[in-house]
Structure formats: C-alpha cells, structure tokens
Amino acid sequence: MQKKTAIITGGGSGFGREVALKLAKKGTNITVVDISRENGEETVRLCKELGCNAIFVQADVSKVEDVKKYVAKTIDSFGKIDLFFNNAGVSGSGVRTIECSVEEFNNIVDVNLNGVFYGLKFVISEMLKTGGGVIVNTASLGGLVGIPTLGAYSATKHAVIGLTKTIAGEYGRENIRINAIAPGTNETPMVKAYPKKAIKQMAEAVPMGRLGQPHEVADVVCFLLSEQSSYIHGAVISIDGGAAAL
C-alpha cells in the first residue's frame, strides 16, 4: 500500500485507530476523520510516529458540509483517495425499539446511515476521477440479524449492507471495489463502556466463548483494502467468533 492515500472515519478510536496504525506501518498517507479532536489528533500523532504522512480533520459525518470538508482536505494534502474505511458509527441507549426517542432514532440514522451515504457520495466522486479505489463500510452483526434493544442501530447497519451491495453492482466496472464488514461484539471503547455483567453475558453467547479484539477486525479490513482481496466485491464479511452462524 506504499504511497496510497486512505480516509478513515471514526479514526480516533476503536477499529478506526487500529486500521490507521496498520496502514501507517505500510507507509499509507492517512486522513483521520473524527468528531473528537482529542482522539483524532492522538491517532495522527501515533501514525506519524510510525513514519507516515497523516492529517486530522474534525468532522461530524452526519453533516454534508463536514463530509465535503474531509474529502477536500484529503485532495489538497495528498492529491487523491485510494482507500476509504467508512466506519464512524454510534450504537444507542439500549431500550426496546418503541421506547427509543424520536431524537435518538433520527440521530443514529443521521450518523450510521446518512453519514455512510455522504461519505460514499463524495469519496466515490473523487475516486472516479483517478481511476478507482477500494472501500470498506462498517456494518455489524446487527446488520445481519435483529439486536433486541438496539433497533435503530440494527436497522441502519442492515441499510449499510444494502448500500454496499448496490454500489458494488453500480461501480464495479469503474474499478471501485467495495465490501462491508459485520463485526460481532468487540472490546472497543464503545463496548467497554457497557456494564461488566452485560459484557460477560455477551461473551458467553458467542460460539468461540469470547469477545473480539479490535486488531482482529483491523486485520480483515486491511486485507479487504489490499490487492490480496482483489476479487472480493459486494461481500459482507462476518468477524464475530461464529455469532452469525447461530
């Protein structure tokens, strides 16, 4: 991936940071996008320590103008976009679906679905100008099955899979390769914030008897972004210790 340029949304934490660090080790130019300046700048610092060029763009992926900004700043700094990890997302407060407030439901849709769409819209437009690119969208196990108490989250992640498959059909001939990942529960900061009892129960429900680690997801993302996966297109890759098999 020498001399390629990647944009990573949600790059300040969890899967986004892990992928940034792995790509940094390969010399990739990286734009870290996050709503959190502190976390995003820390990822950039860690990437630069590994010797790559990296910039931070503070952006809320649910705002069209912010998405245009992170795309424009990447083009200004690096000239093109080769790789896009369209990953930023939020979960939800964990109540049954009809108890979810309208505001919370709409916010989850804004970030997890509209934010993913805006990213695809403006990044693919740039990739088409330079001969193509590779995209990984972050869906979830919750994009394959329902997750009681995370209705909005599950709905948006199903939608991310729908967008991924549709765009695969639309742009494959123009050298845009796109896939989605469907991670099960992983020990990222998002999940570590849950009560300990809930974490234990989640681990027991997984066929492998444990939660995933962010680096296990990042390895798959980097594979999907690389030439090694050159004929994988429009796929949804589960990374879940077997959870989707049940």
Ligand X SMILES: NC(=O)c1ccc[n+]([C@@H]2O[C@H](COP(=O)([O-])OP(=O)(O)OC[C@H]3O[C@@H](n4cnc5c(N)ncnc54)[C@H](O)[C@@H]3O)[C@@H](O)[C@H]2O)c1
Tell me if 57 sits within 8 A of 73, measured CB to CB: yes
Binding to ligand X by CB under 6 A, coded x per residue (else -) over 212-241, reads ------------------------------
Tell me if 180 sits within 8 A of 164, measured CB to CB: yes
**Binding to ligand X by residue 189, rule CB under 6 A?**
yes
Q: Is the CB of 29 or the CB of 186 nearer to ligand X?
A: 186
Greatest Cα pair distance in the chain: 50
Counts of helices then strands in the chain (DSSP H, E): 9, 7
Q: How far apart are CA 40 and CA 26, in angstroms?
A: 20
Among 140, 154, 164, 238, binds ligand X (CB under 6 A): 140
Q: Considering 70, 118, 153, 171, which one is annotated as catalytic? A: 153
Q: Which range binds ligand X by CB under 6 A, 22-30, 88-96, 164-172, 228-236?
A: 88-96
**Binding to ligand X by residue 104, rule CB under 6 A?**
no
Interaction residues for ligand X, span 24-53 (CB under 6 A): 34-36, 39
**Binding to ligand X by residue 92, rule CB under 6 A?**
no
Q: How far apart are CA 8 and CA 137, in angstroms?
A: 10
Comparing every residue's Cβ against ligand X, the nearest one is 14
Query: Strand 176-183's sheet: what is its strand order?
Result: 54-58, 29-34, 5-9, 83-86, 133-138, 176-183, 236-239
What is the CA 125 to chain-centroid distance, rounded? Answer: 19
Helices (H), 96-177: 102-108, 115-129, 151-171
Catalytic site residue 153? yes
**Binding to ligand X by residue 114, rule CB under 6 A?**
no
**Binding to ligand X by residue 185, rule CB under 6 A?**
yes
Nearest alpha carbon to residue 8 among 90, 115, 85? 85
**Binding to ligand X by residue 60, rule CB under 6 A?**
yes
Tell me if 60 sits within 8 A of 34, measured CB to CB: no
Q: Which range binds ligand X by CB under 6 A, 73-81, 119-127, 179-187, 225-233?
A: 179-187
**Binding to ligand X by residue 206, rule CB under 6 A?**
no
The CA-atom distances, in angstroms, between 126 and each of 129, 134, 230 are 5, 12, 20
**Binding to ligand X by residue 199, rule CB under 6 A?**
no
**Binding to ligand X by residue 111, rule CB under 6 A?**
yes
**Binding to ligand X by residue 15, rule CB under 6 A?**
yes
Among 1, 55, 57, 61, binds ligand X (CB under 6 A): 61
Would you please indicate which residues are annotated as catalytic (active-site) residues?
153
Positions in the binding site for ligand X (CB under 6 A): 9-10, 12-16, 34-36, 39, 59-62, 87-90, 111, 115, 138, 140, 183, 185-186, 188-191
